[in-house]
Structure 1
Amino acid sequence: MSQFHKVLIANRGEIACRVIRTAKAMGYRTVAVYSEADADAPHVDLADQAVCIGPAPVSESYLRIGNIIQAAHTSGADAIHPGYGFLSENADFATACKDAGMTLVGPPPEAVALMGSKRQSKIAMEAAGVPCIPGYQGDKQDDDTLLKEAQHVGFPLMVKASAGGGGRGMRLVTDDSDLAEQIKSARSEATSAFGSGELILERAILEPRHVEIQVFADQHGNVVYLGERDCSIQRRHQKVVEEAPSPAVDEELRKRMGAAAVLAAESCNYVGAGTVEFLLDTDGSFYFLEMNTRLQVEHPVTELITGTDLVAWQLDVAAGKPLPLTQDDIVLTGHAMEVRLYAEDPAEGFMPQTGLIQSWQPASGEGVRIDDGIRTGQEVTPHYDPMLAKVIAYGKDRDEARRRLIRAVEDSVLTGVHTNKNWLAAILKHENFAAGLSTTAFLNQFGEEESLQPVAPSLAIQGLATLLLRKGMSSHSWNSNGQIRFACRLGSGDQKTALTLINGEGGNWTVSAEEDSAGFTLHSANETTVLCTVAGVRQRFTYTLSHHGLWLNTTTGCYHFQDHTHVAANAESGEGSGEIRASMDGLIVDVLVAEGEAVSRGQTVVVLEAMKMEHPLKAACDGTLSGLSVSSGDQVKVRQILATVSKDEAAA
């Protein structure tokens, strides 16, 4: 058996906290690693020890194999848990741990390398008898060969990068007219993202379910599966909702998929936690997609329905112990669901957000679990993935789990940055999802429905926000019987609204904007909570107030308001102003227009990289680029002016 005593967690955020808690509960000492940007992060405080591994960029810290190994030596750690993401599926890292005499809490390098290549893993799975999607995964990678093989595969087909994941290097092609261009585009993106332009072709299975099997193997030849997870609702190939078990899988199908997943693990001498992902067709046929050689983001739903701690299993298996349960011992009970809380703004095309978390109040209650790695006062930076927390719920059946999850999502309060919270709740409430019918086409089919669109703040909510912004007034004057009348120019996003408020008796207020008016009643307020009646319903809202403005968490959304009453109109930049500002903190990766050149409305001028994504920043009007204050490689702050477009005389 492999004896280790101190575990270094080569990760950050919620998964680092998750692993640290279990490792400490099992009696292991723990070591956190952190970049300079994460010096005050929760996972650093939670561990027994912590070692700085470099500057903020992941390429200089969390992805530096040598820095991780050196941190283990420095701290005396003799085991390394990679979490997910970063180096968790890097065969070179697995080899480096082995060469350094460290116990890697994960599979052997050979299995990581094999399953890290979609092309090689598919060849291996076909040889092992695991059902695979018809396609081409040959070693001839020239364009002519791919174009020829595509005709044999048939349309529609998927062009996929062999390395990596997350939807990058993936293209759906419906006919051969644009196949050559899509191959070129996918190869370019794959080379940039993964350092490999190797591609595979697969027949496209339209509107399947994404169903994955959790497998576990020990060092003694035992392999089991712990049921399935349905991860069909996805946006840009990123999972949005995960649940276990799948509403589309019965016991007979579960056994067949489980057996195929075990066969996949056995074929590559797998050890530890792994996930075999399948596409499930409408006729019950299923096909191997890929194998993730790590713990999954969505592992909590499996833990809840099996009554297990998969991180504890990982540590025990790494220590050489046999699996604690046989296949016959594993029983699925109840239902669990999970959603991922992201720092992103659905109202702005899901643009990732940065900023200070002014308040984080995760929900609690029967059957609710929150896995997070954030806290009040923490900065959300542009350097890492925008996922902040996972909200998970368990129930005796699917609908109880769904109801509990809706409540947990709505009751979790985060102010300071925009999140996808209300969008997640809307998906969980959607009749298609409630009926258990959702496929990977869910957002294509229903994403534009009104129920899934952001809700603008009502006039009454804007009036309440105006009062809260006027913190110079005491609470008793809010409820004063003497008449108070004042005007305000309220800002919310790019919208500026001129409002007039007049109070009445008993805390009643009337708010007017042009021809519209609404009423609300303010009953009481303290520094974080306000009790009011809006649209005839008495309810309590939470809020935070700072020099950056007001964050008001309501039943329709968490809104950010600012008082623009005393801001000169010409000091504000808005649509068509000519100013191109940074949408968030980030790195300028490309400048596409030179100063003095003509630009047209909608033309990309600067490309900003933040939170693992590139964001094109476009001109809002026709004109000439009269000012350019950045160049490629510059770090910029949110709202910083990057360039200025002088409008054409004809357009002015």
Structure 2
Amino acid sequence: MRSLLIANRGEIAVRIVRACFDEGIESVLAVSAADTDSLAARLADRVVVIGPASAAESYLSVNRVVAAALYAGCDALHPGYGFLSERPELVNACEENKITYVGPPADIMRRSGSKLGARAVAEKAGIPAGKGTPGLRDVEDAVRAAEALDNFPLLLKASAGGGGRGMTIVRDVADLREGFARSSTEAQRAFGDGTVYLEPYIEKARHVEVQILADTHGTVCHLGERDCSTQRRYQKIIEEAPGAGLPEELAEAVRTSAVELCRALGYVGAGTVEFLVDAKTHRYVFLEVNARVQVEHPITEMVTGVDIVREQLRIARGERLSFRQEDVRLDGHAIECRINAEDPRTDFRPTPGRIDRWTVPQGAGVRVDTYAHDGAVVAPWYDSLVAKVIVHAPDRPAAIDLMRRTLDRTRAEGISTTVDVHRAILGDPAFAAGPVTTRWLEEQFLPSWLAD
């Protein structure tokens, strides 16, 4: 691997450029016309413009991305996260053009990317997977399936994709009839597949995920778990590693299940296995597999010392993992805050625009993954994520304190951001006492905070 096309933008593109530098690989960045002067474009060795600002005509076009790699003479391609990162068509196109894809093969991506397919593999491997239904044909099929489950509330979910798209809580048949078409339509628009299914809804749940790395030599290792329960509309806002308050026996069971599932899938590359944990009973069920690097991977890097993106590059080159499972130690506690260009007091409305001044303190235990700088533009065509502020400290209280002090000194002038709401969350006694559940932010914290 000598030259890598980065088929992404924003902070993850900057992150991959840095990994290329560390590995001695030429970085070639595919950009839309809106990103030609981005920080990632300034840092990359070369830049190729692949289309206009519209994501559909640039970052979401398999043909344009692969053509850019061929034009630039790249022998490898990294998709980052989002956009085309879980599209088997891109993997196939890379294979057809003899371009090394940094990620799992297309067949494994298909098996893991389908929630129904991955759930079947989990069940066969003896991993708790809940009592979900098969894919539902229509609303009447859904009503019959719900009556068979006889366990409201239920959750309508999209079989393909994630990020909360197509998810609807239904508390009775009337809710189900009203929400079915909406969930299916949203899934079709987001993933090109409108298949939805039902599973029991856990009222007091924690979202716990396990970071996996697997090489082409059959080695599968975990890097511990993360807690991603601080969510709004199923979108993560704050993540932590490791999972605070998880009994060690439960944490080890979740980690082992993730490794066993990936072995059963024949998984290769970096991936994340997600679970829901009942906060009352501590029972856990498999949720889904994300066949890519996650937004929140830095907190795992902070507590393990493993560079996940560099490991991805090494795996793609056919090398073995640089560590063994027994080498993995979870040291201290890490927290990540996703700083978005949004106004929390207007229902988190995106606030694109020019950043007049960007300042984040850089001290011991503080890491910032971002594309922001003075004069940078938050474009209206893409995700509103501006930066990930990550801290690492000996324990959770110290990490919360360090993050609060860091955010107190963070400035993003010219746009509205979520820094204020992050500060408030970290200062809330319920969050400090932890752990919170996936509905805490929306049902308890935000109503009170917005009323002040």
Fold shared by both chains (TM-score > 0.5): yes
Counterpart in the other structure of 1:292:
290
State the Cα distance separating 1:142 from its structure 2 match. Answer: 2.9
Measured in 2, the distance between the counterparts of 1:68 and 1:6 equals 15
Match of 1:12 among 9, 14, 21: 9
Amino acid at match of 1:114: R
State the Cα distance separating 1:250 from its structure 2 match. Answer: 3.0
Structure 1 unaligned residues grouped into runs of 5+:
456-652
What pairs with 1:624-635 in structure 2 (closer than 5 Å)?
none
Counterpart in the other structure of 2:115:
118
SS class of match (1:232) = strand
State the Cα distance separating 1:449 from its structure 2 match. Answer: 5.1
Counterpart in the other structure of 1:351:
349
Measured in 2, the distance between the counterparts of 1:194 and 1:292 equals 14
SS class of match (2:93) = helix
Higher helix fraction (1 or 2): 2
Q: Contact 1:337–1:393 (CA<8 Å) still a contact in 2?
A: yes
What pairs with 1:588-599 in structure 2 (closer than 5 Å)?
none
State the Cα distance separating 1:454 from its structure 2 match. Answer: 8.3
Counterpart in the other structure of 1:163:
160
Determine which structure has greater relative contact order: mean sequence separation of CA pairs < 8 Å that are 6+ residues apart, divided by chain length.
Answer: 2
Counterpart in the other structure of 1:438:
436
Counterpart in the other structure of 2:62:
65
Measured in 2, the distance between the counterparts of 1:349 and 1:284 equals 32
State the Cα distance separating 1:347 from its structure 2 match. Answer: 1.9
SS class of match (2:169) = strand
Measured in 2, the distance between the counterparts of 1:133 and 1:35 equals 42
What pairs with 1:456-467 in structure 2 (closer than 5 Å)?
none
Counterpart in the other structure of 2:139:
143
Q: Contact 1:62–1:86 (CA<8 Å) still a contact in 2?
A: yes
Counterpart in the other structure of 2:99:
102
Q: Contact 1:30–1:49 (CA<8 Å) still a contact in 2?
A: yes
What pairs with 1:596-607 in structure 2 (closer than 5 Å)?
none
Measured in 1, the distance between the counterparts of 2:427 and 2:98 equals 50
Measured in 1, the distance between the counterparts of 2:446 and 2:39 equals 37
State the Cα distance separating 1:26 from its structure 2 match. Answer: 1.4
Counterpart in the other structure of 2:83:
86
Counterpart in the other structure of 2:170:
173
Measured in 1, the distance between the counterparts of 2:184 and 2:443 equals 29
Q: Contact 1:118–1:200 (CA<8 Å) still a contact in 2?
A: no
Amino acid at match of 1:322: R
Q: Contact 2:366–2:392 (CA<8 Å) still a contact in 1?
A: yes
Q: Identity percentage over the alignment?
A: 44
State the Cα distance separating 1:448 from its structure 2 match. Answer: 3.9
Amino acid at match of 2:172: D
Measured in 1, the distance between the counterparts of 2:66 and 2:451 equals 45
Measured in 1, the distance between the counterparts of 2:167 and 2:439 equals 16
The Cα offsets for residues 136-168 of structure 1, whole Å up to 9 and x where unpaired, read as: 024x51332221111122210001111122212
Counterpart in the other structure of 1:396:
394
Measured in 1, the distance between the counterparts of 2:117 and 2:402 equals 42
Counterpart in the other structure of 2:381:
383
Counterpart in the other structure of 1:228:
225
Measured in 2, the distance between the counterparts of 1:151 and 1:62 equals 42
State the Cα distance separating 1:370 from its structure 2 match. Answer: 0.3
Match of 1:186 among 183, 186, 208: 183
Structure 2 unaligned residues grouped into runs of 5+:
none
Measured in 2, the distance between the counterparts of 1:63 and 1:163 equals 17
Measured in 2, the distance between the counterparts of 1:400 and 1:135 equals 40
SS class of match (2:361) = coil
Measured in 2, the distance between the counterparts of 1:245 and 1:195 equals 34
Measured in 1, the distance between the counterparts of 2:322 and 2:250 equals 25
Measured in 2, the distance between the counterparts of 1:325 and 1:318 equals 16
| In the alignment, structure 1 residue 428 sits paired with structure 2 residue 426 | yes
Structure 1: which 4+ aligned runs deviate by more than 6 Å? none
| In the alignment, structure 1 residue 271 sits paired with structure 2 residue 268 | yes
Q: Contact 1:210–1:278 (CA<8 Å) still a contact in 2?
A: yes
TM-score, normalization by structure 1? 0.68
User: Relative to 1, partners in 2 of residues 1:178 and 1:252: Cα closer, same or farther, differing over 3 Å?
Assistant: closer
Q: Contact 2:238–2:335 (CA<8 Å) still a contact in 1?
A: yes
| In the alignment, structure 1 residue 302 sits paired with structure 2 residue 270 | no
State the Cα distance separating 1:184 from its structure 2 match. Answer: 1.8
Q: Contact 2:225–2:243 (CA<8 Å) still a contact in 1?
A: yes
Between the two proteins, the alignment pairs up a number of residues equal to: 450
Amino acid at match of 1:307: G
Amino acid at match of 2:116: R
Measured in 2, the distance between the counterparts of 1:101 and 1:114 equals 23
The Cα offsets for residues 379-400 of structure 1, whole Å up to 9 and x where unpaired, read as: 2221000000000000011111
Counterpart in the other structure of 2:49:
52
State the Cα distance separating 1:374 from its structure 2 match. Answer: 1.8
State the Cα distance separating 1:111 from its structure 2 match. Answer: 1.3
Measured in 2, the distance between the counterparts of 1:351 and 1:122 equals 35
Counterpart in the other structure of 1:200:
197
Amino acid at match of 2:35: D
Measured in 2, the distance between the counterparts of 1:348 and 1:444 equals 14
What pairs with 1:445-524 in structure 2 (closer than 5 Å)?
445-448=443-446, 450=448, 452-453=449-450
Q: Contact 2:215–2:268 (CA<8 Å) still a contact in 1?
A: yes
The Cα offsets for residues 356-383 of structure 1, whole Å up to 9 and x where unpaired, read as: 1101112211110000012211222210
Amino acid at match of 2:215: D
The Cα offsets for residues 581-634 of structure 1, whole Å up to 9 and x where unpaired, read as: xxxxxxxxxxxxxxxxxxxxxxxxxxxxxxxxxxxxxxxxxxxxxxxxxxxxxx
State the Cα distance separating 1:85 from its structure 2 match. Answer: 0.4
User: Relative to 1, partners in 2 of residues 1:379 and 1:187: Cα closer, same or farther, differing over 3 Å?
Assistant: same
Match of 1:339 among 319, 337, 340: 337
State the Cα distance separating 1:6 from its structure 2 match. Answer: 0.9
Counterpart in the other structure of 1:28:
25
Measured in 2, the distance between the counterparts of 1:414 and 1:435 equals 29
Measured in 2, the distance between the counterparts of 1:196 and 1:317 equals 30
Measured in 2, the distance between the counterparts of 1:381 and 1:437 equals 35
| In the alignment, structure 1 residue 242 sits paired with structure 2 residue 239 | yes
Measured in 2, the distance between the counterparts of 1:218 and 1:168 equals 31
TM-score, normalization by structure 2? 0.97
